[in-house]
Amino acid sequence: MSKKKIYDQKHLTTSQRIHIEKGLNDGLSFAAIARKLEKHPSTIAKEVKKYRSFQNHEVDPRHPLRCARFKECSLRFLCDKPNCVKVCKYCYNTSLRTPVCTTLCPEYLEPQCPSISKAPFVCNSCAKSRTCNKNQAFYIAQNADKSSQELLVSCRKGINQSAVDIALLDDLISPLLAQGQSLAHIYAFHGHEIPCSRKTLYNYIDQGVFTAKNIDLRRKVRYKCKPRKTGTRVSLAAKEFRIGRTYEDFQKFIQENPDIPVVELDTVEGGRDNSTQAFLTLFFRNCSLMLIFVLQEKSQDQVIKVFDYLTQKLGIRVFQELFPVILTDNGVEFQFPERLECDKNGETRTKIFYCNPNSSWQKGRIEKNHEYIRYVIPKGQSLDNYKQTDACVLMNHINSEARDSLNGCTPFRLSKMLLNNRLHRLLCLQEIPADQVNLKPSLLKK
């Protein structure tokens, strides 16, 4: 069995168009030209028909060409001659030797060469082209290449939407962007209403088509390069709390237990001189759900208090199921691993591991997720005025935004399937309707 030939599917180049013109001048068929260029014959046919150039001959009005409908025409009474009952095409002007109807008939159709209406669609190889007085078409490589390039440019210019569609898109997208929602979240819930791609929407916003501007997009900003830390004042390698709990130990443990879920742990601070409180955040890698707890101060006792509260309300078995492995940094608030790993009765409830010093990328997902907090509470702002109810509202809005990394799903929906739902009931976790998700400072007015 012969294999089906595979073509390159690329645009025709200038040199290939020159070969097409030469082949047409030599009277070659589309198939013969296609074999030389390793293209499909239909590609050559479409190219010739699309980019051929028409050349209209100037016809002497005193000697018009015979109508293209001459054979089937049966019109009468076009002239003003009395008692004339002849079919008009048989009334000849003796001086011009042409039917009178060519100048009188409103349905007169100028004849065309039959080569234009069927393959090869052009008159390049016609021997009568110089003497023929009909409308002709020629394929000229230079003109075809220029027309092709102009088409490629023009079809990518401007806005391929009507004014009504743009107005409807603006009414849909601009208010949601003003609430701090991302285009990924908007597409996850309104993709069926948007008649263009996400990249096109970014272009429309950049061109100022919508009410929303670039400033309303989260990532359309420039970030200052932070100076890279060279090292810590005191080496943490030999610290007692890290023994057996380093990042290398964590990697080894995960290799031995590949199916065990991992939770990342961190804290978020307010301004250096204006905030005593802090946020404790826990991030579930398997579903991207983030929990936020308000700490009265950034200390070991406050972190242990949160762990004891979750253990008491959920039960130690559920806590072990939800938080089997925790990865965190070397902050002073986490440097009491024995008490974090065990409850008040000394029963083990989790296992703590620590990232390497100055290596926050090792728990990069929670660090990245902190951006959502900063959308609502900018960096440097005090956290002293926020209560746990505010933290609950904030994490509900964060966990209700659809993510590209979750294939358009929200962390809340995924967590309902993967996590024990006692956690949701305890912390009053609930999904915010898609169009009500707000990740702007207006969410928590303090």
Domain spans of the chain, in order of start: 10-59+111-157, 62-109, 163-216, 240-443
Residue 116 has pLDDT above 90, yes or no: no
SS3 of 41, please? helix
Of the candidates 407, 344, 348, 397, the residue with the CA atom closest to the CA atom of residue 375: 397
For residue 235, the model assigns a pLDDT of 52
For residue 98, the model assigns a pLDDT of 66
Residues 268, 270, 275, 281: what is their CA dihedral angle, to the nearest 10 degrees? -20
The single-letter DSSP state of residue 241 is G
| Least confident among 30-34, 94-98, 381-385, 411-415 | 94-98
CA pair distance 285, 246, nearest whole angstrom:
19
Q: What residues have CB less than 8 Å from 53, skipping those under 6 apart?
A: 137, 138, 139, 140, 143
User: Which of the listed ranges 72-76, 104-108, 206-210, 418-422 does the model predict with the highest average pLDDT?
Assistant: 418-422
For residue 153, the model assigns a pLDDT of 86
| Least confident among 107-116, 269-278, 287-296, 368-377 | 107-116
CATH architecture of 240-443: 2-Layer Sandwich (3.30)
For residue 129, the model assigns a pLDDT of 78
Residue 85 has pLDDT above 50, yes or no: yes
Residue 79 has pLDDT above 90, yes or no: no
For residue 185, the model assigns a pLDDT of 92
Residue 189 has pLDDT above 80, yes or no: yes
For residue 145, the model assigns a pLDDT of 94
CA pair distance 224, 301, nearest whole angstrom:
35
Percent of the chain scoring above 70 in pLDDT: 90
For residue 155, the model assigns a pLDDT of 79
DSSP sequence for 88-120: GGG-EETTTTEETHHHH-TT----B-HHHHSTT
Of the candidates 212, 203, 205, the residue with the CA atom closest to the CA atom of residue 176: 212
235-291 residue pLDDT tens: 555 578 888 999 999 999 999 999 999 999 999 998 878 889 999 999 999 999 999
How many residues in total does the chain contain?
446
For residue 230, the model assigns a pLDDT of 55
Query: What pLDDT band is residue 75 in, cutting at 50, 70 and 90?
Result: confident
Strands 278-284 and 351-354: unpaired
108 CB-contact burial (10 Å; exposed 0-12 / middle 13-18 / buried 19+): middle
Q: Residue 120, preceding bond cis, omega within 30 degrees?
A: yes
For residue 139, the model assigns a pLDDT of 94
DSSP sequence for 117-136: HSTT-S-TT-TTTTT--SBE
- Residue 333 backbone dihedrals phi, psi, to 5 degrees: -70, -10
Residue 101 has pLDDT above 80, yes or no: no
CA pair distance 377, 106, nearest whole angstrom:
76
For the chain, the average pLDDT equals: 87
Six-digit token string for 218: 């989260």
For residue 362, the model assigns a pLDDT of 94
Strands 278-284 and 290-295: antiparallel
132-144 residue pLDDT tens: 777 788 999 999 9
